[in-house]
A and B are shown apart, each in its own frame.
Chain A
Amino acid sequence: MGKRVGIEVSLAVAEAVKLCDVDVVSAYPITPQTHIVEELSHYVANGDLDAAFIPVESEHSAMSAAVGSSATGARTYTATSSQGLALMHEILFIAPSLRLPIVMTIANRSLSGPISIWNDHSDIMAERDTGWVQIFCENGQESFDLTVCAFRIAEDKRVLLPVGVNMDGFILTHMIEPIEFMDKAEVKAFLPDYKPQLTLNPKKPVSMGPVGVPEVYMEAKKQYEQALWDSKAVVKEVLAAWGKHTGRKYQLVETNGKKKAKTVFVTMGSLGETAMTAVDNLVAAKQDVGQVRLRLWRPFPKEEMKKALKDAAKVVVIDRALSPGGVCGPLATEIKSLFYGAKDAPKIVNIVAGLGGRDVSVKDFEEMYAKAKSGKIKDDYVIWGVESNA
């Protein structure tokens, strides 16, 4: 077991990628992802990482090069954020459709406009339906751990899909946290070599990405959507193996606070840790409150989430993205549809908070609890701290 080191989380993620011995890094710098790929380019330039670093001219090219590289059977990594992820948009659909196990870090950041470099989840929510496995990290150690796990999940032959590891921009990427590392041999023991099923190889020619005529397109979509659903069991397996290997155990959905609580927060990403402190305070003040933290956003762990919320009377879903003109935020929409038609469905209220880097404190969560409990939040969703009813 490695020792704990105080380090910026971006650098820890770069170290994780190095330990995974990637063959190709194809990336374009963008705040707040820059430190990750900058560090990786140092590794490659210094000979610490035997990989090709492709310094592309845009994120559209970064993802295109990643698709090409992964199609040759190379272990491929990229990272981006916000506008960069948006620029990758059309190529993001190609990677799962070709069943390419690319791993990408998304340093979550808001989208313009107005121009903002700060954190929220609007970048990844706009890419929700691209077919990637999508994981959310709550802290620095998780960012390191889940980056390594992401390669094993992606490359499992039952999955063969790209994996996006989301970590909140600045809040995680630029924080110095105590992180427990592993050495190369330990990572190698956990992460087997990538054995691709199909590769672009002149000696054994195949065509990847042919046209999907109407007689094929839906079957092709079904194939990779099924792989995405099948990946849930693999994610569970890999997290369990990681727990055995390192002692750090993760679940798809995690719970804390009072057991069988009447009021339950649902969070995703680093806000979960802030909410955790608030929930601890509230429980200490004899309040009947709990929390559910979602780690796997796609595929959505329906059964696990239902189980985690089965005793709740009121669910307070925190969204860090706005779905303008929608019924409610993306996470709340999901939770609401999960309980559609259920006899004992809890009341679900949705709070959109922390957009564009707006701070959300422990006190905010305590106030959210008080407002939600008193029934003051009556609308489908409220924008926290902005609208007069919240």
Chain B
Amino acid sequence: MRSKLAPIAVLAVATLGLGLAGCSTGGGDDGDSVTISLGSWRTEDIAMWEDEIIPAFEASHDGIKVEYAPTDTNDYNAAIQSQVEGGTGPDLIMCRPFDVNRAWIGDGYFDSLADLDAVGKFSETALAAWTGDDGTPYCIPVASVLAGFYYNKAIFDEVGVDIPTTQDEFLDVLKTIKDDGKYAPLALGSADGWQLGYNVLYNIGPAYWKGEEGRLGLIDGSKKLTDPDFVAAFAAYDALKPYLPSGYESLTYDDMSQLFSLGQAAILPDGSWNINQVTSTGLDVGVFGAPAVDGKRYQQEMPDMAFGLNASSKQKEAATEFLEWLATPEFEQLYVNKLPGFFSMSSNTISYDNPLATEFAALKDGAELTPRLALDRLSAGTPPLDDEIWRIAQLMYNSDLSPEDATAELQAGLDSWYTPAG
């Protein structure tokens, strides 16, 4: 029986419950200990932070409690933006690399970290992704990631192929596996544009555009995407098309990882962060780097994440202590070994327990390093080059878009807003 009282009673009860529920806020003083919150887009790391890293920090830092508060990566930018603009947000904000972060720096989200000891532990290149235009560091680097090709050792043995070192060898390997018929040569789909850029084009591309030479050339305007080197890179990317599994247009990054880890595909172009996933089913997995061009090898190394100090944080002292701790071997050793595939960026000597991580890190030897092509300065306007590359890369696999037309379109988009920094 609903009477007029019933809804009012419900409302009263609800309000009461709210009064109790709404009392708590995140962070603040708790007797004599302080709680700081960490904002991040890495939801899959919760277990590791809560069980290993945070206890290690709290053990050596009395009176500070840490809360790891991740947000799904799709919502992360929006959540941070809304919260910080509204005046709240976590005390420590995980920083996206390069342009997105520069915008946040420009909007005043962060406090300068120039006075921290931790900064001295990192090279200028390491800090570059998180430095303001005036050279002030705003985030302490945490980890970098590498791009490479995971391969299923058992399949390679069975089909009888070796690790390729040149593009021709690579295509040969793919063809042999495809002709064999039992396995998919590449676990690669085009539903997720970002990985076509990050893990495929930016993986094999640097050998053609000569790493930093090409990237910096784009930035200062001396090079264009329509130059032969870049077109050749896009052509090499396109050459993989015949070896994609059927229905690849709908295959997401998740599907690719599953396909590989279930033993149904031979090679997975991927980032080093995925080590745990690809080895989760017990496969014998190795990794090889992008093919060399003219005998020279290039390796993508991307500064991936860092932590910055929220300018409106109410616990700056405690948060700064945490930032200093991020540059210690204690933290780094713990972090990179609990999360294999993430590599330390400081000058500390770190040892890696995970054999696959060590193998991945070894890819850096003898290769020239370069970060992802389009995230630094080339994505600060509309259309952002990085997003456009995702879209074009997708179109190249999903339609007949040629490398020449693709690069022409990209360059036109860049030219519409970008003035090269002389």
Do A and B belong to a common assembly? no
Chain A residues proximal to chain B, CB less than 8 Å: none
